[in-house]
Each structure stands twice: as structure tokens, then as C-alpha cells.
Chains A and B, each alone.
Chain A
């Protein structure tokens, strides 16, 4: 309970200019060293405790920078929790914060429970006695909250889904338990092939759930949309049209990329963070290196790019260079100014962006904007995924548990292939089952035993 390293976003949701990710526990320093790359040559954060270091957070899986940050390592006991603590100061947008938290958790930390830093601080003697009651209240409030969460519709569906997967695992576990504990009985045999099939199915379903993590996050935090296009194609008009038609929730929030402005708007119930990159390309020097870097940074942070070209003119080299920049991203194409004579030939762009569909719009005449809105909505729901019927994972703790469950199921399949004995394989399957049980809050292995007796006729 207290030996695990925990992590959480410590700043309020999405409102501040900077976000703080706090990590506490034995592994805090180790985790920070793994993910942090200093901007200039120098020691890793654990070797220069209590000094704020400037650098980037790297996603080790793809060796890519996630955000530029300040980070510090503070050894125990002179910290808030009196444990080793690391703090990462990143940009205030939700996306970099979540991404960094996700990386920290993937590297070995566990998302902190509400009030857990405070509880640890208390347990380690940091907070005085009078505050103990407050800690208890905090824990209690947390229970009440998760209690009501269980009744939340979306969470309810997730629990149901996880429950179904657990039942499949339970089927295997019960057969294994019965055949191991009652080997004399004539119990129907469960073959390694059958176990493998169930595991493959389980992995498949869990991965589908993980895929929805994307949609779930968007629903919670908003879709980051960037508008790309060379000057004067109508980017500002698009921004204004969208803002005019859709009630703006917040304006002028400093974004993750400092040279851009985020507008948050509500598109038929879906939160959209519009990154206005207008300032980037219109600075004048179009081929200037700095300009390209800045726009690239904006595009990188976006979930979706609206790429606009001018239908009344032929393609220019700038259009093509932008197309190259965004080739790896999700893109919706827009051909603007369709109220004028059309001179554009999209074939060159189609070669660069073969899967991108171009919508014809006229912002001046306010035509085609509804098509765009539909396209954005389709993108969020990924076609097949619909909020109304499918469960979605959006909670970081859930995501990390499902990932661990998948890992355990994979391990079990591997060992099955290696012809490992059933008692060992059972360990991994049970691990998978109990990780999922942590989501639904029921990891009690008596379940299996009860089920064994319910299903099999056993005994002397």
C-alpha cells in the first residue's frame, strides 16, 4: 500500500498556465530520470537534487519529445510526503499533462487516489495530528464519489464490459481450479487450445476498450483541432464562423504551444479546442525555418488538422509543403472559396495525402460548414464507436489496469505456447482477472471457489 510509487496531476483541471505532475515514492527519482532529457549536457535530476532542470519529457517507446518542461527531484524526507518526490512542470493544457502522467504510470507509478499525497504526508509524520480528521474526511469523500461513479451511465457500461471479460476468464480459471484441486473427479477437460482462444478473445476485447480511451479522453478534455493552410485561404474566417455558430465556452486560454491561441467551443455537445495557428504562417517569412518549426509543434499537439486550400487559385508550393508536414496526422481537407470560379487541381495533394477527403465550402456564403461539423463528429466517434452503446475508458487508473491485464494475458499465451504447466499459467490468468477486478472493485478469489462448486459435481 505505501511502497508503491504514486503520481497525479497536481494542478487544477485545465485552467492554469502550467501543470504540475507530482510523483511520490521510492521510484520517483528513477522514473523521472527515465523520462526526462535535459536540454543541455548535465547530470540527471537525481544527481542534482532540489535543482530545477530544464529539458523535455520523452516518450521512451517512440523516443519522441512530448513537452518541454522544468523538473526537479527532491529526496526524502524533506518533502511534502516525506518520501522521494519528483515534480514535472509542463504546459498547462490537459493533453500534455495527461500524456506525461500516462508515461509516468506506464514506467511504473500508479495513479494516486484522491487525498493520497496528504495521507502519505500524514502517515510519514509530516502533517500534525489535528489534520488527521481532515484526511479521513477526504478518504470518505472519495468513497462516496466512487460510489456515485458506479451509477454513472458511462462507467456502468464500462463495468459491464469488464465484467463480461472477467466472466470469460472466470470460465478458464474455474476449470483450471477444478482440474487442479479435484484431479480425481471426472471433470470435463479444458484444453490449452481452448484457453488460448479465450485469452486471444480477451486481449482483443481489452484492446478495443483501450482504443476507446482515445474517444473517452476527447469527450472529457476536448478535441484539439488545428487549422492549417497558407495565408489568405480563409483560416481566420473558418475560426470566426465556427466560433460564431458554436457557443464559445472559454476564450483566450494560453495553449500548450505558446505562439498559438486556443479557443474552446462546443460542437453539438462535444468540446473542441481550436488551435489558431494563424499567427504562425502569417508572420511574413514563409520558408523561414523557425516558422516551420512552430507550426509543426502546433500540428503535433493536435488530434485533428483542418487543412484548407483556396479553390479559386491553383496550388502553390506552400500548400504542398504544409501537406507534407501534416501527412502523418488525422486530416480533414477543405476547399474554400467555392463561390468563385474553381481553378484548383487537387491531384498533387492527393498524392501526398491519399486518404484525406476534401470538403467543398464557401465561408463567405456560409456553405458546407455543416458538412465539416459532421466530419469532425465522425472523426471523434471513429465510425464504429458510439457513446450511446459502447463503453469508454477515460480514467487513467482504468487505462493502466487494462494495460496490465492485457500484459498478463499476453504472458499467459506465451507460456501456453512454451508448454508451461497449468499451475504456472494460472498465475498469469489470475493476474489478468484480478487487475480487471480492481476496476470493478471485486477481486475476491473466493469467487472462483464458489463457482467451482456451483459448476462441478465434486467430492467423495
Chain B
């Protein structure tokens, strides 16, 4: 028996990392928003590793923060260890990674949702969507993509809620199945219930579903470990905050521990390979290459004598430890056996066994760049349902989907970041344009313009844009403007402060740098490899007191000016093609001169611009030329 329970502007299905950001973004933009979670205790659950950030991922967190999202603030409030990765490898690839106290992170996120104006948080499982035929009135467009429009959701209780747009952020819950050795059973992650009904509805609506796989290692009781046999991995001496709202974080940090597998470990694994769900063939889903199970590592990299294992705390108030590097679908008894071959883990007590999980997801090629489904108006998708993996990737899509759902129901231009503006742009463009055959993870190598897309300048790149669509609070806006002004002032000060050789040369001599013979600016000195903003302090006593964020940006902008300018030129060229828009209603099957493969790909992916079209695999430069000619032809026909 169905019953009406209310009406919202936006409904978000799922309250994981994507769902939370989607709900918050929509509500912050002033829309009445409902966030539905199957289990309110599981909001923003970190179902796998207890850390946020890392290479590429850290960039995403900074960008989410710059766009007014919550992830950066939540992790800053729950950080128990902070590390700047790649600090010697250059500013573009420096990435922050922090260990989190998982329960604190979850509570911080739940609280943010509960306190958010316009946002209701409810427990409930969505079993289906409600929709209507579209266009219901007016002239159908030249080539009508939209047969249906989503108008609400139905819950397993029979309750229904109406909405103008729905964001699906179902994570790994759709028809999920857990595999441990020869055994498998229907279950969501971490013992939570799976969502068994929604997939059927999505398939009825014509969505093509796929099956992906991921996994998580065992959790082990800390009291059973011998830390004397492992190598301590402390955090950096100073915690660098993720959020641009925080300048300083004073917190006690805890260590992680490093140990290694050995030949005995590998032998146990090899002896039991046939008992693995992965090798036994029970798993049909595609798993990620960058996150292989230990049996996969041993099998594929047989000549490697050892693999590193990190022991990471799950939180401050729990003894559970996450065994990074050891995800597996081997049976629990084998898990005990091989974990115990590892130095320091001889007496390891498994608290929760490792498992692999399979779940339904869609093909992201079916989405538009605003994350709306091509064929169903008002239906947005974010996170693992789109074939991505990772908390940060999910949160980034969630925020963008939430914001775009609002813009769509207001009839406004979508909020799309391109590949030169943000890692978020790279992430979404990759998913929507190139698609993915495994759970997709962001990497700095995926970003062509990474010298410009640094974590230190995420706010300078994005906050203004987010302000324009209503994602940014007054407080953040104020802080941002101040930070931008300070950055500019400090850069000018460094460029205009000239020092004489006798003021500089002792400083240079101490760094074993060649002396100067003429006056030179502080900025000029900073360009030298051995000179940093920090060590420059000794000859720059009158410098103002500035935040880490300001200092970092000024330093990098000056130090790498030449490279950054070169990159900006490339970006200008790139933008020209992105700005050549392709009309939505174009029918590629009628375009002569395109090769068949290109025709099919273009018809499926429906790129928004010539730039996007050129990135589709199977679309050649000649096809692009043909497309350009057709577009011009069209334009003239319209005008003539």
C-alpha cells in the first residue's frame, strides 16, 4: 500500500560520501532537500581505509572544500595523523593525506546534515522511482532524448516522496553480494543490508546496469600485534588543514606501522588460490587494477619477494587496525594463516575478515557532463554508481550532482568544470567521455594541466565560481577574498623588494648557491632551486604574518612561473575547443562522412563540445573536422 509522505525539490538517495555532499549542496543553494539513508548510523561511513586524501585525492578534497563542500571540514575535525605526500617531488603532485578517526568523521558529517537549513535527513530504503512522460506539453525537440522525467521516489515501506530531481548515490549497496572464499551471501558493506529492489526499477526505466567489484582487507585487534617488529610511520610534525577555512590545527597524532609480507605468506596464498572467490570464478564483477587483492599481487607479480603492509588505526577509541595492502577474497581460515606469517602479526586476531563486494552500477557514458542521465530528465547519479571508487571521488561527484540538480530544476546553465579548471573536471570528464571498465580512481597523471591544478590554489580556481551559483557561505566568501588579496599583495611585495648583492650573497653562500652581482628581487631569488619562502626569511625580516595557504601559493606561483605560463597557453588552446558547443539535439546517424565507429560513439556519448568529442576514443581528428563542417552547415541553415 503506497502513501504520500511529502514533497521536496531534490531527493538524494544514499548518505555516503557522495550523498552527503549532494544533499548539502542542494540545501545550501536554497532547495528543499531530502537525504534518504538506509541506516542513519552509517552516514558517511568509511567502509574501507581510515584515511582521506592522497595523491590526486587530496586535490579533490581541497576542491570540494573550495566549492563549499563538507569533506575538508569533516576530516579536519577528525584527523589523527597528517602527511604531505610528495613534498620533494614538486608542487603539482604534493598531496595531503590524513588518517581519520572514523566515528568522529561520521558524526561530523551527520551533524552537518542535521544542522543544515532546508535539509531533512530520513532513514529509508528506496525501492523505485516515480516518473512521468516528457515532454508533457509543448513542442517536442528535434530529436527527443527525454522520454521520461523522474518525479519522486518510493520506499520499501510504501511511502512515496515527490521531487523535481533525484540524485542516486547508492554506493556499493545495489544488489550487493559479499565474497569470502568459497562463500558468498547477499549483503551490503560492513554487514549492512543491501538494496535489493532499486536495480529492477532502474532496468525497467531502461538504464543499462553493470557489475563492479571492490574489496577491503581484514581488521585486526591492535592488542594482538607486536609493534617491535614493525617500522613506525609517524605523521608530519605539523598538521596541514584540508579546509581553507582552517589555518591551524593543533591535535595529537598517532602513528601507522609498516611491515612486509614474505615468501611464506606468498606460499600460503599460492597454496590456497583455488579457494579464492576471485580465482575460483564466483566473482563476475570487474575489480580495480590499482587496488588488487593480495592474491592478485602474488599471482601477477610472482617475482616480487615482499609486499608492504601498513597497519592503520581505525580511530582513537577503538583497538581495531586496518591492514592496508591486504585486501583479499580468500577464506577466513586462510586469512588467519597468511596474516600470521607477517612480522609483527604472528598472533594477529582477526576482528572482521577481509571480503570482496560486488555491486550494480551504471555506465557513466550514459550521463551528461552535469551528471544527469541522458535519457531520464531530473535523474542525477554520483559516486560508485557511476563506476568510480574512493570517498573523495564520490564526494566530488556528489557535490556536482547536487548543485546541478538545483540548476536543472531552475532551468539554469549547468555547472561544469572542465579539465583545465579542476581535478573534479578531469574526473567527471573521464567518466562521462571515456567511460571506465573498472572502478575509476583519480590520479595526478590523468590531469593534463596539473601544474595549474594544484591543491594550494584550489580556492583561487573555484571559490568564485561556486559563489556565483550559491554554494558559498558569507563567512567563506569573506575569508576567500582576504586570502586572495593577501596572496596578490605578497607576490607583488616579493617582486618589488630589491636587495643588493652584499645583503644576499652570505645567504646564498650558506646554501652553496652562486653569488649575484647586481640587485635582485626576493622573487628572483625564490626562483632558485635551493631557495624557499621559509629560508628566505633570514634576509626578509619585514615579511607579514601570513597563512600557510597564502605562503604556499605565492611561493609556487613565483618559483614555477615559466612552467605555469607555458601551461596557461596550452589551456587557452584547450578552451577554444571546449567553447565550441555541439547542439544537444544533433543526430549523428545522419551525418555523412563520419566513420561508423565515430558515429556510434558520438551518438552514445553525445558530447557537449568539440573538445569533449575529440577525447572520445574511436573519434579521429578527421571525424572532428567532418563534425566541424556539419556544425557550420547547420548554423548557416538555421540563420539562412
Interface residues of A (CB under 8 A from B): 1-3, 119, 122-123, 125, 129, 132-133, 135-137, 139-140, 142-143, 177, 179-186, 418-424, 427, 444-446, 448-449, 452-453, 457-460
Contact = CB atoms under 8 A, between A and B. Distances in A.
Nearest to A2: B576
5 contacts: A2-B576, A143-B620, A180-B444, A183-B55, A421-B89
Contact of A139 (B86, B217, B308, B626): B626
B588 to A, nearest CB: 14
A183 B573 contact: no
Interface string B76-90: 000000000110111
By DSSP majority rule, is chain A's interface helix, strand, loop, or mixed?
Answer: helix
B354 to A, nearest CB: 11
Given A142-B622, A423-B91, A449-B446, 14 more contacts: A119-B629, A122-B629, A139-B626, A180-B86, A181-B55, A183-B55, A183-B89, A422-B93, A423-B93, A427-B567, A453-B289, A458-B292, A459-B290, A459-B297
Nearest to B323: A460
Interface residues of B, number: 62
A449 B310 CA distance: 24
Interface in B308-336: 308, 310, 324-325, 327
Contacts of B573: 3
Contact of A427 (B55, B451, B629): B451
Contacts, number: 134
Interface in B59-96: 85-86, 88-93
B85 A132 contact: no
By DSSP majority rule, is chain B's interface helix, strand, loop, or mixed?
Answer: loop
B89 A422 contact: yes
Contacts of A143: 620, 622
A177 B610 CA distance: 28
Interface in B290-316: 290-292, 297, 300-301, 304, 307-308, 310
A140 B596 CA distance: 13
Interface stretch (B268-276, B345-353, B632-640): B632-640
B304 A424 contact: no
Nearest to A453: B289
Given A1-B624, A182-B55, A424 B592 contact: no
Interface string B45-62: 000110000111000000
A460 B327 contact: yes
A457 B90 contact: no
B196 to A, nearest CB: 29
Contacts of B56: 181
B308 A3 contact: no
Contacts of B451: 423-424, 427
Contact of B633 (A132, A185, A186, A448): A132
B421 to A, nearest CB: 18
Nearest to B87: A183
Given A182-B55, A457-B301, A139 B625 contact: yes
Q: Would you list the 4 A-B pairs with minimal beta carbon distance, nearest first?
A: A421-B90, A423-B90, A136-B593, A453-B289
A181 B577 contact: no
Contacts of A460: 48-49, 217, 291, 324-325, 327
Contacts of A182: 55, 290
Contacts of B628: 1, 119, 123
Interface in B591-640: 592-593, 610, 617, 620, 622, 624-626, 628-630, 632-633, 636-637, 640
Nearest to A418: B529
Contacts of A140: 593, 622, 626
A251 to B, nearest CB: 40
B629 A459 contact: no
B450 interface: yes
Nearest to B85: A183
Nearest to A1: B577
Nearest to A421: B90
Among A179, A419, A458, the most chain B Cβ lie within 10 Å of the Cβ of A458
B464 interface: no
A179 B88 CA distance: 12
B434 interface: yes
B257 interface: no
A132 B629 contact: yes
Given A1-B624, A180-B89, A422-B90, A185 B308 contact: yes
Interface string B437-473: 0000001111010110000000000000000000000
B87 to A, nearest CB: 10
Given A133-B592, A460-B325, A179 B445 contact: no
A139 B622 contact: yes
B560 interface: yes
Contacts of A1: 576-577, 610, 624, 628
Contacts of A179: 89
B617 A444 contact: yes
A460 B57 CA distance: 14
A418 B559 CA distance: 13
A460 B617 CA distance: 30
Given A1-B576, A122-B629, A180 B445 contact: yes
Contacts of B626: 136, 139-140
Interface string B563-581: 1001100000100110000
Contacts of A119: 625, 628-629
B307 A457 contact: yes
B288 A459 contact: yes
A427 B55 CA distance: 17
Contact of A177 (B91, B434, B445, B620): B445
Given A423-B451, A459-B288, A135 B49 contact: no
B274 to A, nearest CB: 22
Nearest to B567: A427
Nearest to A186: B308
Contact of A137 (B91, B593, B620): B593
A139 B622 CA distance: 6
Among B448, B622, B630, the most chain A Cβ lie within 10 Å of the Cβ of B622
Contacts of A446: 434
A423 B447 CA distance: 12
Contacts of B620: 143
Nearest to B55: A181
Contacts of B93: 180-181, 422-423
